[in-house]
Amino acid sequence: MTKTTVRILLFGRLREEHGWHERLMELPRPVTTVAQLQQALGIHCPGLRWAVNQDFATPDHPLQPGDELAFLPPVTGG
């Protein structure tokens, strides 16, 4: 069975809260979607967006070996 390894990127406050920006990670079983990985990582952020391979994605987007998943929190400013 092929192991599913993905590159995970955190931005903004998520980067600060979790103390890292980029990781290669083998998906734990039974994680197969963006939402499942978010839950496994303990990422909680209202208004969060996701990008898989630099295209916006939905929480139910399936993850494939070699994917890059970015967690994009909302930004504020003025």
Is the pLDDT score of 57 beyond 90? yes
- Domain spans in the chain, listed from the N-terminal domain onward: 3-70
Give yes or no for a contact between 33 and 59, defined as CB atoms under 8 angstroms apart. yes
**CATH domain 3-70 topology:** Ubiquitin-like (UB roll) (3.10.20)
Confidence class of residue 2 from pLDDT cuts 50, 70 and 90? low
Q: Give φ, ψ of 48 to 5 degrees.
A: -65, 140
Is the pLDDT score of 78 beyond 70? no
pTM: 0.90
CA neighbours closer than 13 Å in the CB half-sphere of residue 39: 11
**pLDDT tens readout for residues 11-29:** 999 999 999 999 999 998 8
Beta bridge partners of 72: 49
